[in-house]
Amino acid sequence: MAWYRANARDLPWRRTTDPYQIWVSEIMLQQTRVAAVLGYYARFLETFPTVEALAAAPEERLMKLWEGLGYYSRARNLQKAARIVAEQGGRFPDTYQDLLALPGVGDYTASAIASAAFGRREAAVDGNVLRVVMRLTDCRDDIADPKVKKAVRAQIQAVMPEAEADIRVFNQATMELGATVCAPNGPPRCLECPAMAFCKGRLRGTAEDLPVKGAKKPAGWRRRRCSCWCGTERSPCGSGRGPGCWRACGSFPTWREPWTRLPPERRCPSGAWSPGGGRAD
């Protein structure tokens, strides 16, 4: 924790214990780098300074503000959760279990908010923390296994401090160590690490090989047909009508009719467009 106090990055969500601001930051940071979030975070809070303001916002305005950040379901879940909190008088849930009940809030996010905003003794385990623990203990268990993550959480929970102020620092310190020193890309900077004297991964020369992560299941292909009009008239481009993962994105009208059933004059090679019809893979 002394290392964190001397070396931590100055990030806006670390300067507050406001649960709304911390919650917004944690949702934005899901699958997104800190550098990409900073500008969005400031604009978001300027536009929606309270949970009530977010709850009452038109969805179109919310999605426009989120544009470019990706994973748009996060924004929709933010607003769903904001409406639940607003209906409770604007009082944010202050326990892990109650936070977990909010849309879009999972195990890590609930723990992070509970500890950072309320000083609850909840271990927040993200990818950075898993990497640090696996290298410290020279553990070769697959971090993609939920049982492994659960075990790591229990390990950290057992050594967490008791004081509220220290709890907030402890979780942030572990995550910061993984993000900046025990980093995922390239070799870990072991000589800068406050844990280097007792890190089994460093002492045994295995740190660069850890953590072990099983192969992801290949993503499936989704094929859709779309149609656009080329000319002076505006194309019927819709917003929020795309299927599945394209929901809330601008899109041309789509359908599932097999390509071979289109008349020959309306077919075009993959990747090309033709007036009155086209192909999108």
Helix (H, G, I), strand (E, B) or coil at 112: helix
CA 253 to CA 259: how far, in whole Å?
Answer: 15
Q: Is residue 240 within 8 Å of 248, Cβ to Cβ? A: yes
In the chain, the amino acid numbered 109 is T
Backbone angles phi, psi at 274, to 5 degrees: -140, 150
Helix (H, G, I), strand (E, B) or coil at 188: coil
Q: To which residue do tokens 């309270």 refer?
A: 50
CA 28 to CA 10: how far, in whole Å?
Answer: 17
Of 60, 111, 87, 92, nearest in space to 248 by CA: 60
DSSP 37-86: HHHHHHHHHHH--SHHHHHHS-HHHHHHHHTTS--THHHHHHHHHHHHHH
CA 109 to CA 36: how far, in whole Å?
Answer: 19
Task: Go through 170-187 and write b for each residue having 16 or more CB atoms within 10 A of its CB, e for each that does not.
Answer: bbbbbbbbbbebbeeeee
Around Cβ 245, how many Cβ atoms within 10 Å?
11
Q: Is 87 a catalytic residue?
A: no
Task: Go through 124-149 and write b for each residue having 16 or more CB atoms within 10 A of its CB, e for each that does not.
Answer: bbbbbbbbbbbbbebbebebeeeebb
| Catalytic residue, candidates 26, 87, 192, 208 | 26
**Catalytic residues, which ones?**
26
